[in-house]
Amino acid sequence: MYNLGMYLYLLGVAIASLFSEKVRKMWRGEREAVSLLRQQVDPQARYVWFHAASLGEFEQGRPLMEQLRRDHPEYKILLTFFSPSGYEVRKNYEGADIICYLPIDTVTNARRFLRTIRPVMAFFIKYEFWYNYLHILHHRGVPVYSVSSIFRPGQIFFRWYGRQYAHVLKCFTHFYVQNEESRRLLSGIGITDVSVVGDTRFDRVLQIKAAAKQLPLVESFVDGKKAFVAGSSWQPDEDIFIPWFNEHPAWKLIIAPHVIGEDHLQQIEAKLQGRKVMRYSRAASDTMLNADPSALSQYDVLIIDCFGLLSSIYHYADVTYVGGGFGVGIHNTLEAAVWDVPVIFGPNNERFQEAQGLKLCGGGMEIGCADDFRRIMQGFEDHPEVMAQLGEKSGVFVKQMTGATGKILADVQL
């Protein structure tokens, strides 16, 4: 049934590629992957294979790849992606020797792929459980590790109808999971080669913090005043926090929306009643502002209309907001928390282990409506010392949760 499902999926992707550029890139990349490998593989090298579904999983695997590269230069690294949102962004990543899409998990594709690369070990990041690849690797005696994985009772492996598919988990040499619940669930179906090491994303955000950019334009904009940074915001998020800042001009507001499109940017600007608004791209290209950056301090709101700056911009915040919690789920709270600031987010955060940890330690605050947001912000206005204390708790939480990368690589037989 699984293999039939894969062929039906292939058919669906082929049809969808006729109408979607994103799907077309994935379809083309998957078909060309083995040819690309045959051109680039060094037959004398020993390859360690890392597979990430998308960009988020890549960030979890990145600390492992980079430490492995530093400590064991005798290996080469193959990095594969399933999604264009990962591959297209990181196809030129210098930490891997070969980067390509992973062909769809049919028996033929898996055999051709593994025959070409012949990995000496493989790391599957978080949620990747490809039946044919894993069974062939297991049959060939190749060690396979699941890293930063997390399991929940509702997953197919723990339902009566999914017990047959759960056998795929026995193909893994070891699981390095995020929490005790994951270990308990795996133990319940006979999987005992499990270690609770935490999430490598905590290691990654410390790396990001250490490499943060100095942003003179942002520094000039803030000009020593209290600053609120909203990262990866969507319309429902903006409808909650913007009205409060329209009434509190003493705060500097920085908005980095998740969708950077002209329509969305204009919608944000229309909601900022009577506030002086500047877009980052305009400030960066304005010769007068570059000649006298202090003039940017006269503005109330800075909209970040470009990518790649958010993790550094959090450095200038007194309070942060991470969007997505009124939609499909919150975005990366750790990139904000690592800067020792309180983090506010919406209610859809149950599936996010780091958000639960932030709430538990007091550094993260969930809101369900505009009144919740007003109450929190008014509390910070009245008691700035509390704002600083909660921010410190965020930073301590992140630092206490680091170390998964070292634990994994110390345990793996390299």
Q: What is the pLDDT of residues 321-363, one digit of tens each?
A: 999 999 989 999 999 999 999 999 999 999 899 999 999 999 9
What would the two tokens of residue 36 be? 């690309």
Q: How many CA atoms lie within 13 A of 262 on its CB side?
A: 0
pLDDT band at 27 (very low <50, low <70, confident <90, very high): low
pLDDT over threshold 80, residue 292: no
pLDDT band at 57 (very low <50, low <70, confident <90, very high): very high
Segment 251-261 mean pLDDT: 96
pLDDT over threshold 90, residue 135: yes
What pLDDT digit, counting tens, does each position of 174-191 carry? 999 999 999 999 999 999
Strands 343-345 and 364-366: parallel
What pLDDT digit, counting tens, does each position of 76-118 carry? 999 999 888 788 889 999 999 999 999 988 899 999 999 999 9
- For residue 379, what is the enclosing H or E element? helix 370-382
Q: Tell me what percent of the residues of the chain surpass a pLDDT of 90.
A: 78
Lowest-confidence segment of 17-26, 41-50, 378-387 by average pLDDT: 17-26
CB count within 10 Å of CB 71 equals 11
Residue 228: the pLDDT is: 98
What pLDDT digit, counting tens, does each position of 312-324 carry? 999 999 999 999 9
pLDDT over threshold 70, residue 138: yes
pLDDT over threshold 70, residue 73: yes
Whole-angstrom distance, CA of residue 79 vs CA of residue 60: 13
pLDDT over threshold 80, residue 28: no
pLDDT band at 14 (very low <50, low <70, confident <90, very high): low
pLDDT over threshold 80, residue 211: yes
Long-range contacts (CB closer than 8 Å, 24 or more residues apart) made by 106-112? 106/3, 106/6, 106/7, 106/10, 106/132, 107/3, 107/132, 109/34, 110/136, 111/136, 112/34
